Amino acid sequence: MNVIEVKDLSFVYGVDTPFEKKAVDNLSLSIKQGEVIGLIGHTGSGKSTFVQMLNGLIKPSSGQVLLEGKDIWEKPKEIRKVRFKVGMVFQYPEYQLFDETVYKDISFGPRNKGLGESEIDETVRRAAKFVSLNDKLLGKSPFDLSGGEKRRAAIAGVIAMDPDVLILDEPTAGLDPKGRDVLLSQIISYHKERKNTIILVSHSMEDVARIADRIMVLNHGRLEMLDTPRAVFSRVDELESMGLRVPQITRIMTILRGKGYDFSDGILTVGQAFEEVVNLLKKEGKR
C-alpha cells in the first residue's frame, strides 16, 4: 500500500518577485508503507522544501500530496492532524528543546495529542529507550545534556508522537563518526521494530546506502532517480555531474571496471568489494 503519493508537485518561492525560485519542480512518485527512502541531492536541490510539503508545513504551489490516498490539503483546517502522522526531525533539532526537563520536552507531542498521563509516561519512556537515552537524564534540563544526548532527546520527542511516516532531515549532521554510527543504528532498529515509513534526508551517500530500500535523487528541484541503492550508485558519472560524491569504494570499483576488471556495478561497501575481488581471483585461479 502506498502511504504517500505525490502528484505533479511544485513549489515556487517569492512568486512575482525578482527572487522567484522554483525549488521543487513537478515531482510525481509514491512511497510504500514501511519503506525507507534515502533522499539525496546537492545543497539547494529542493530536499527540505520537498519534505516540508509532505507534512503540510508548506503548501504546494501546484500538485498534490496524498497521505493514505487523501489529499492533505483537502481540509486545510485539519492540516495539524497530518503533522501527527508525518513526524519531522529538523536539522539540528536540539535547538528546538525548550522545556524545563527532558521528560517534559519529550512528552510535549503526546500531551498535545490528548493522551492520558499513564499513556504519556509509557510513550516517553519507550521513545527515550529507542534512542538509548538513560532514564536518569529525563529529569534533567535539556541544557545540561551533551550534544549527542540533546540530539537524541529531540528525536525522541518526534518518535513519541508515534508517526506513521518519520522524516529525518540530516539527522547525523555535526556528529562525530561514532555518534553518527550510533544514531544510524538506532534509526535502523527503531524501523525494524515499528515498521513505519522513514525518509532520511542526507548528503552522506554512505549513510543512505546503509539504511535505504530506495534512494531518491533531487537535482535543481527535479526527480532525477528513484531506485535501489545499487542501481543509483551504478550511475557514478551522473551523480558526480550533480555534485554528489559517491562512496569512495564505489568510485574505486567503477574505475577498475572501466579498466576491464569484471566487477559488478554499484558496489557500496568494502565488504561487497572484498567479495567481488575474492570471486574474481578464484575465477582466475589465483586463490
What residue ranges bind ligand ADP (CB under 6 A)?
Answer: 13-14, 21, 23, 41, 43-49
Cell of 61: 504551489
User: Would you say 21 or 81 has its CB closer to ligand ADP?
Assistant: 21
Q: How far is CA 116 from CA 30, 110, 162, 203, 246, in A?
A: 35, 9, 15, 39, 47
CB of 129 to ligand ADP, least distance (A): 31
User: Would you say 49 or 204 has its CB closer to ligand ADP?
Assistant: 49
CB of 15 to ligand ADP, least distance (A): 10
Cell of 250: 564505489
User: Would you say 106 or 244 has its CB closer to ligand ADP?
Assistant: 244
Helices 147-159, 117-130: axis angle to 10 degrees equals 130
Work out whether the CA dihedral 184, 185, 188, 190 comes out positive or negative: negative
User: Would you say 43 or 118 has its CB closer to ligand ADP?
Assistant: 43
Q: How far is CA 284 from CA 68, 145, 256, 264, 279, in A?
A: 52, 56, 16, 16, 9
CB of 23 to ligand ADP, least distance (A): 3
CB of 269 to ligand ADP, least distance (A): 26
CB of 93 to ligand ADP, least distance (A): 15
CB of 5 to ligand ADP, least distance (A): 20
Cell of 204: 552522506
User: Would you say 49 or 123 has its CB closer to ligand ADP?
Assistant: 49
In contact, 154 and 143? CB cutoff 8 Å: no
**Which residue type does 91 have?**
Q
User: Would you say 116 or 243 has its CB closer to ligand ADP?
Assistant: 243
